[in-house]
Amino acid sequence: MLQEVFSVVAPVFVIAGIGFIWIKRSQPFDNLTISSLVMYIGSPCLIYSSLTTNAPELAILAQMAIAASFVILGSLAIGILFLKTMGWPYRTYLPSLVHPNGGNMGLPVVLLAFGDTGLALGMAYFFVNSISQYTIGLAISSGEFHPSQLLKQPVIWAVLVVLIVLSTGYQMPAWVNATTSILGGLTIPAMLLMLGTSLASLNVSAVRETLTISVMRLLLGATLGLSAIWLFELEGIIAGVVLLQSTMPAAVFNYVFAERYNREPDKVAAVILQSTLMSIVSLPIIVAWVLTF
């Protein structure tokens, strides 16, 4: 079991560590170019390739979407109550409590833990989390609600294509499937490298508040993930993917919104860094657990 856990966790931290060391050694890395490639090309191709090649039943994808929505909305409600009680700024901390790193970190973990089937299910969770980030997360940080932002996200259109293909049984040309498979393959290693480079560039502050939020992110995710598994009677790989994705550290993208709208980005950066470091301890435990599901 220890070897299985290590084989899942080690590649994630090794590849992210390469990105971290790369930046610390002042090596060139165009984060804007890489992130744009991942967002506009890699992620949509990975969604299409993984969901059409290892297509779960639409009912199972719906289960994942419902479970992810439950965890996100539960985190939102509890997060608001907690931050109001503590008197801490919710526009600074709430996005980190609500949105885990289901992309850069979650997708590689579920792929290594459960193979292509886990990746396909993880993509369903990632999709719901992405919608939430560009609606709820953006609204919290900016103070305004812009649903039109969703139409600009390629992952939305990729999922629509997937749903059409799966529901109609239409066979796309072989060259389309081969191209999207190759382009999708760049996404996960690029995400992990970006995770490392982003962590290497963060400035951190306000340790007391940020440590509390970091612990809350992991505990809240675990509690609500287990609640979703119990409430919706999830089993096997589905349950494992839900729990893994729910307990990821705070998403790096929360920092992007905090920086853009001046929501104390240093504190958000601290939450991301601290929760990611904590996951070095928590993730092997959770992986060992879900492998028994």
Express each pLDDT in 75-123 by its tens digit.
999 999 999 999 999 999 999 999 999 988 999 999 999 998 999 899 8
Q: Three-state SS across 215-257?
A: HHHHHHHHHHHHHHHHHCCCCHHHHHHHHHHHCCCECCHHHHH
* pLDDT score for 6: 80
CA distance linking residue 110 with residue 239, whole number of Å? 11
Helix axes 154-168, 58-86, angle to 10 degrees: 150
pLDDT digits (tens, 9 = 90+) for 30-80: 877 888 888 889 888 988 888 888 767 888 889 999 999 999 999 999 999
Give the mean model confidence (pLDDT) for residues 278-287. 93
Domain hosting residue 187, numbered range: 2-290
> Burial, 184: exposed, middle or buried (Cβ in 10 Å; 0-12, 13-18, 19+)?
buried
Check whether 146 has a pLDDT greater than 80.
Answer: no
Name the more confident of 144 and 179.
179
Average pLDDT score over residue span 150-164:
83
Residue 251, exposed/middle/buried by CB under 10 A (0-12, 13-18, 19+)? buried
Interval 204-246: pLDDT, tens: 666 789 999 999 999 999 999 999 999 999 999 999 999 999 9
Round the average pLDDT of the chain to a whole number and report it: 89
Query: Residue 250's beta-bridge partner residues?
Result: 100
CATH code of residue 19: 1.20.1530.20
pLDDT of residue 34: 86
Answer for the pair 255, 198: CB distance below 8 angstroms, yes or no.
yes
How far apart, in whole angstroms, are the C-alpha atoms of residue 199 and residue 193? Answer: 10
pLDDT of residue 73: 97
pLDDT in tens, 250-275: 998 788 788 778 888 888 888 998 99
Q: Write down the pLDDT at residue 207.
A: 77
Output the CA torsion sign for 48, 189, 42, 221. Answer: positive
Number of structural domains (the chain) is: 1
